[in-house]
Amino acid sequence: MTPFGEKLRALRAGRGITLKEMAAALQVSSAYLSALEHGHRGQPTDGLIHQICGYFGLIWDDAEALHHLAEISHPRVIIDTAGLSPTATRLAHRLAKDIADLDEETLRSLLARVEEARQKPE
């Protein structure tokens, strides 16, 4: 599941809306909507995100947050390490190889560490 899919499912469940009801309202198939929720489809279009925001009445910060989640939710990530250090390439390959075997706590810890490192002044 992607961050976008997780949020979409939470919005739907929080309002007691079935996948089929939402899909009909958005004029998409329930199979497509399910695939979005489970991370089996790529990033949704801006138009669909706008429709979803309208459907749930999301405005301002909530709508912007949903757009951001869509941007970071493509299930197939490509990391281009051309021009980076050998260590960066090694890290990218290691993550690609082992990410499926890491538990949620480890993943959260690694993500926090990377985000922390990005916030340090250079």
Q: pLDDT tens digits, residue range 7-45?
A: 999 999 999 999 999 999 999 999 999 999 998 888 899
pLDDT given for residue 118 in this prediction? 87
Instruction: Give domain 3-71's CATH superfamily.
Output: lambda repressor-like DNA-binding domains (1.10.260.40)
- What is the Cα–Cα distance from 50 to 28, expressed in whole angstroms? 14
CA angle, 64 then 5 then 68, to 5°: 20
Where helices occur in the chain by DSSP H, the ranges are 3-14, 19-26, 30-38, 46-56, 60-71, 86-98, 104-119
What pTM was estimated for this model as a whole? 0.70
Q: Structural domain boundaries of the chain?
A: 3-71, 86-119
Mean pLDDT, to the nearest integer, of 41-65? 93
